[in-house]
Structure 1
Amino acid sequence: MIVKLFGREPALILSFIAIVVKVVSAFAIEVTADQQAWINAVAAAAVGLILAVMAHDAVGAAVLGFVQAVVALAVGFGLDWSADKQAVFMSLAAALVAMFDRTQVTAPVSAAEVKRPAAVRGV
């Protein structure tokens, strides 16, 4: 059901939905800072959770969604981080998840099977 709904680009579509929810709650409807934080946290966590379910083992997306939800909640409840600091923190979280994911992924073609240019082989 979910795969049919989102096709081949679930991460893109679900992330767009989360961003739309955040923009609407920030600019279109009047909400308190706490309500804004809850809306952002729920949207971010929902995207991560849906991606993890769709991919069956996409732990990285769920972790990043959770981290984003925690940051949104913390800011909503008084953490004084600028948007720049939040972006840097999320970049760090994404890098850590990518480092973990790299150890979990196997290339479909071995390094020995890859044709390399002569300059790379040292010829």
Structure 2
Amino acid sequence: MKILGREPALWLGLLAILVKLGTAFGLPISTDQQALVNAAVAAVVGLTIAIAAHDGISAAVLGFVQAALALAVGFGLSWSPEQQAVVMSAAAAVVAMFVRTQVTAPVPATIRGSSRPVTRI
């Protein structure tokens, strides 16, 4: 899959360099915050790929929520670990509610009563 004609890894590398370049010329963020920005962007790219591929969307959404929460905490959100856990649990519940309606069995259901009894020889 390509994003605007380029591989996702190329975009991630470009963004990482742009963040470092910005920091070198006055963007007031720490190296930890740089790492959080890069992680959040990687989560967004992963979510985009999962949606485009129609596979693994639930894991990608949960990863995105986790990355966004880490980014927010890294930039000063003062939530306790318990509050963060509640948000992650709520996100997992919402994803599970969505996935439940989207998943189908790999084999079709059979109609009851259409089978014959087995006879012994």
Q: TM-score, normalised by structure 1?
A: 0.49
Please identify the structure whose Cα radius of gyration is greater: 2
More helix by share: 1
